[in-house]
Structures are given as C-alpha cells and as structure tokens.
Amino acid sequence: MSCVVHMNSALDLARRGGRFVRGRGSFGRGPATKLSSKRIEYRPGELATVLDIHGSIDGTSEARLRGEMESLIKAGAHQLILDCRDVDFINSSGLGAILMFKDELARLGGALVLMHMSERALMVIEMLGFGPTLDIAENEAQALELIADGTA
C-alpha cells in the first residue's frame, strides 16, 4: 500500500513532533487524526461575504483561494471577510495573496478583513511585518463593524 504525503504537510508534521500512520492517511500526535481538508466555503451577507477557510493558507492552497476570491469579486462582492478559525497554517505565500486582494478590493472601494486568527497565524503575520497592513477582527461582529464604519 502506498501513501502520498505532501511536502508542506510532512514538514509541518515533523515540526509538531507528530507521526504518520501508514495506510490510513492520517497525521497527528498519538491516535490518528484526520488531516484537515483544504476547502473554502462562502456565505453572502448584507454587508459582506464571509469566506470560511479550512486547512492552510500557503503555496499549496493559494491558487484555490485566488480563484474563489477572483470569482466573488467578479460577481460584485467587494466586502470580504476571511474566517480563519479552521486555518491550521499560514505562510508568506498565502499572506501575499491576501495582501494582493486587499489592495484590489481597496481600489474597488471595498475591504478585506481577517477574523478568528490563531495565535500561531498572528505570530507569522507580525514576524513578516504585515500586522499594520491587515485588518484583523476577533469575531464576525467586529469584522462587520470595521466594514460598516469604513475603517477596514
């Protein structure tokens, strides 16, 4: 039986001291845990469209994130909130895509707000110096407030 392990997943696994359970496609510590899928769902709302991101925001998921956001922008959604509660990893490649869309939305009179960021993701954002550039909210109410009052 063969298993395919993506490099980013394997590196992340090694950093966390986890183990790979051969044949089950599972990663984690101790008992096998399912690797989170990389999917993006969206919820249109009155003030903004919320994108629920699951998995990581990195080089392996960047193209999908770009595609989803481009489609929403073309459809007229110019106020976007990225719900990152289920994001387990973010890197400079993923942040680059987010910054690109933040700038594009600003040119269109819109906004991009991140919410429910993990401590780990916030640390990466600060280490890369993007903290002052991004609008980050603790929850959806705060994100909507930033959009409604035009501060995002």
pLDDT tens, position by position, 98-138:
999 999 999 999 999 999 999 999 999 999 999 999 999 99
CA–CA separation, 31 vs 122, rounded Å?
Answer: 28
**Are 4 and 70 part of one and the same domain?**
no
**Are 74 and 23 part of one and the same domain?**
no
The pTM of this model reads 0.73
Judged against a pLDDT cut of 70, whether residue 1 lies above it is answered with no
Which of 57, 55, 7 lies closest to 35 in space, CA to CA? 55
Which of 126, 132, 138, 57 lies closest to 98 in space, CA to CA? 57
Question: Between the CA of residue 71 and those of 62, 67, 77, 78, what are the distances in Å?
Answer: 14, 6, 9, 11
**Are 120 and 81 part of one and the same domain?**
yes
Judged against a pLDDT cut of 50, whether residue 31 lies above it is answered with no
**Are 143 and 91 part of one and the same domain?**
yes
The dihedrals phi and psi of 20, each to the nearest 5 degrees, come to -100, 125
**Are 63 and 11 part of one and the same domain?**
no
pLDDT tens, position by position, 55-107:
889 888 888 888 899 999 999 999 999 999 999 889 999 999 999 999 999 99
**Are 60 and 76 part of one and the same domain?**
yes
**Are 66 and 87 part of one and the same domain?**
yes
Domain limits for position 23:
1-35
Helix/strand/coil for 107 = helix
**Are 16 and 57 part of one and the same domain?**
no
Count of structural domains, the chain: 2
**Are 67 and 5 part of one and the same domain?**
no
**Are 127 and 92 part of one and the same domain?**
yes
Judged against a pLDDT cut of 50, whether residue 26 lies above it is answered with no
The dihedrals phi and psi of 140, each to the nearest 5 degrees, come to -70, -40
Tell me, what amino acid is at 99?
L
Strand segments, DSSP code E, in 31-151 are 33-34, 39-44, 49-57, 79-90, 111-115, 135-137
